[in-house]
Chain A
Amino acid sequence: MTSEEIFNEVLKSPELQEIFQIPKEDLEQENFFTKSEYRIIEIIKTIISGQENYKSKEQIFQNIQKLIMQL
């Protein structure tokens, strides 16, 4: 599966609507290559692209931490 395919599969997760309160319509608009207004979506993308680009877990963690702590 490509990163984009994985991302599209992840968007089908009910947790995004139930826990993170993201409307279905918004999820349908999400794209792997464009920035999302939802933090959780950006975290997910960071992990997927981190794995794709052979980033270390530590690097991915720091990127996420930066993402969260900035907000």
Chain B
Amino acid sequence: MGTIIKSISFQNFYNYYGSFDENTYYFKEGINIINADNNMGKSKFYNGILWILKDKVYDSDLKRMVSASSSFQKMASGKAINEKNNFDMGVNISFIENDNKYSVTKIVQFNKEGKSWKTNEKLEIMQTIENRDIPVLDVADKEKIIKKIISPELINYALLQGESIEELVDLSSHKGLSSTIEVLAGIKNLIEICEISKDLSRKAKKLSNDKEREFNATNNKVNELIQERELLEDRIENTLAQIETYKTELSEAKKKKETLEAILLNAKNREKFREIRRTLENEINQLKEKKNNMEKNITFMLFSENCPWILMGLEDQITLFDKRRQELTADIATQKAIDNPIKLPEGSPDIPSLQRMLQTEKCEVCGRPAPKDSEFWKHIKMVMERPTSEKKLNKNDFNSFYSSIQTTVGAFSLSIPKIAQSIKEYREEIDKLEDLILQKEEEKENAKLEFLNAGGSETNSDITDKRYISDYTLAEKTIEKKDKDIRKAEKLIKNWSARLRQIEEEIKNISTNSEIERYRQFKKTMLNVEHIFHNTKERIFDEILKSLEENANIKYAELTQGNLSLGGKLNFSKQADGTVQVSIKNVNDGELTGLGTGFQRMKQLSIIMAIISSKIGNQRFDYPFISDAPFSEFGDNFINNFFKVAPNVFTQSIILIKELYDSTSENYLNDLGNKILKRMENGEIPGTFYVNYIEEQADTTNLVTKNKCYKE
């Protein structure tokens, strides 16, 4: 049995305010879940483990790992700092390793001196032997015990921070992979043997050369040949070293290219959708302007000269108007006759005749007498004083006015019936523009989504994408150049090696001493031994790689099971310099690109699981797997699959997540959380289940995290 963490406790550590007893999480084999919302202590919990194992913490302000000692003040509980003048901050991990029980505690004593704090760090380790706790005092022993929690070679695979998962599984790194395989296969000693045999071979070569020189001290020809051989051997050795450098540079360029390939696809997509958005934005603006102008034009159309919309529906009114005008003209004529009883023609009788009639008091028209001031006399007077020809000018005013209206309106009699159609068409055109704008807005929104899916953001500029493209081009050029350099160097070595063989033959033919021949054989044998060990190591390496590939694909299939989109097949390929590149192949064995972040992380997680679950010889990973936010970017299906697969891979895992959290629910669990808890309670998933919560709202300086244990 390997290592099992029994408990982790905190004391005044970030928002874990209070004593160790108040902040203890008990764990067992299986999956141990700590479910917490943002800012409720997940990363702080993870930092506690980092502090114990690596003496480092992740500073979320600086967004990088820092040494714990530089961050003590930040690590201490804000509430403790506010309330106390001296207190202890600490983290304790209790664990069992091969039936031995250990307790590792890191404590920092805080003492306030004036306005500043004085800190003192302590490391306390206890080992329980026969129920007695015995303190471990030796510094080297303490270090060894901490390494028992998780082996340093495998710590990268055992401690997983969700956001950095892509960088974690660095299989393309020679060092990263070799140290993993060394531990998995336990071939550290074989690697050392390879180094020894290489050195022995060099020694045998030197010895043989020295003996040849010694035996042929007087033979100038042989000496010349030996000198030439040594020169060529030096050249070959230097060139081989140079090739190694080229291969490393080539590998780095390939890795860069591979990294950029994924980014490049997105960068190109971002560029594409950025351009589409720009074009659509212009089109929308033009359409809006056109619509706006049409709307503004409605006022003009209402009063347009040829077809004023304001007259819509007045078709009958023209006929009615004409009829009324005629009636009015007739009425006016009739009304005049009524209003003017004088039937005499205009200007008759004339004024002098009428004056004489008034004087003579007799009407000369009818011959009747008209005594002064009588009705007749007054009538004659009225006729004399009747309006003059000035008023005659107004005689046809209304007629003329209405006739003028008639003339103007008459012109519209043909266009008014077309107004309704014109308005309909105009409205349809505006509606069409509106639809088009909506359609373009939708297209723009889709382009924005595509842009965001490709990793774009509102602040993302095209300068970064252009840099990616230029870096990619540079990586391609480097690969081409390094390939050429390697081929050139190999050609040189080939030529020199051919010459070396010639020299060997020539020396052998000249110097035929049997004693020298034994040294030559010795040299040859040792060179073969070197190759045998080297090839054995490479074969084991390849076998492990193959086993890892198979295992990773099993895990990958299990983790991605149930997804509608197929995730492809993981392919591990060994590069010329011994590095390994992991890519995802499609059904036709082509490179599968464009997979979502969820799939990419599943790929990484599968590789981790493969490494962890690989059992080679008697070696296997048997450490706790501790992960902070491994599921960001994962859907429910991925999470469910993980809970199915994980207990078979990790003897113990401690998972800090928020995906099961619901702050509005009474037990702080969402549907998925309740389902998983149920499965744990039923014994389907072994492990424990904790939920972190905050009792009182506070800012980070006073935040206090509490926990509820739902499954012990």
Q: Are A and B bound to each other? A: yes
* Chain A interface residues (CB < 8 Å from chain B): 1, 3, 5-6, 9-10, 12-13, 15-16, 19-20, 39-40, 43-44, 47-48, 50-52, 57, 60-61, 64-65, 68-69
Q: Are A9 and B536 in contact (CB under 8 A)?
A: yes
Contact of B185 among A1, A51, A69 (CB under 8 A): A1
**Residues of B within 8 Å of A, CB-based: how many?**
29
List the one stretch of B233-241, B371-379, B523-531 in contact with chain A: B523-531
B518 → chain A, closest Cβ, in Å? Answer: 7
Overall SS of chain B's interface: helix
A27 → chain B, closest Cβ, in Å? Answer: 12
* Chain B interface residues (CB < 8 Å from chain A): 185-187, 189-190, 192-193, 196-197, 199-200, 203-204, 207, 518, 521-522, 525-526, 528-529, 531-533, 535-536, 539-540, 617
> B residues within 8 A CB of A6?
189-190, 193, 536
Q: Are A68 and B200 in contact (CB under 8 A)?
A: no
28 interchain pairs, CB-CB under 8 A: A1-B185, A1-B186, A1-B189, A1-B190, A5-B617, A6-B193, A6-B536, A9-B536, A9-B539, A10-B532, A13-B532, A13-B536, A15-B528, A15-B532, A20-B528, A40-B528, A40-B529, A43-B526, A43-B529, A44-B533, A47-B196, A47-B200, A50-B196, A52-B189, A57-B199, A60-B196, A61-B200, A69-B522
> B residues within 8 A CB of A48?
193
The closest CB in chain A to the CB of B533 belongs to A10
- Total contacts A to B, CB within 8 angstroms? 73
The closest CB in chain B to the CB of A9 belongs to B536
B514 → chain A, closest Cβ, in Å? Answer: 13
Which of B199, B526, B532 has the most chain A CB atoms inside 10 A of its CB?
B532
Contact of B531 among A15, A52, A68 (CB under 8 A): A15
A57/B532 contact (C-beta < 8 A), A68-B518, A68-B525 known: no
> B residues within 8 A CB of A50?
196
The closest CB in chain B to the CB of A64 belongs to B200
> B residues within 8 A CB of A3?
189
> A residues within 8 A CB of B535?
13, 15
Q: Are A1 and B536 in contact (CB under 8 A)?
A: no
> A residues within 8 A CB of B518?
68-69
A52 to B200, CA, bound (A): 16
A39 to B522, CA, bound (A): 11
> A residues within 8 A CB of B190?
1, 6, 9
A10 to B528, CA, bound (A): 12
B183 → chain A, closest Cβ, in Å? Answer: 11
> A residues within 8 A CB of B193?
6, 47-48, 51
A10 to B192, CA, bound (A): 14
> A residues within 8 A CB of B196?
47, 50-51, 57, 60
A5 → chain B, closest Cβ, in Å? Answer: 6
A38 to B531, CA, bound (A): 18
**Closest 7 CB pairs between A and B?**
A1-B186, A13-B532, A51-B193, A10-B536, A15-B532, A68-B522, A61-B203
Q: Are B617 and A43 in contact (CB under 8 A)?
A: no
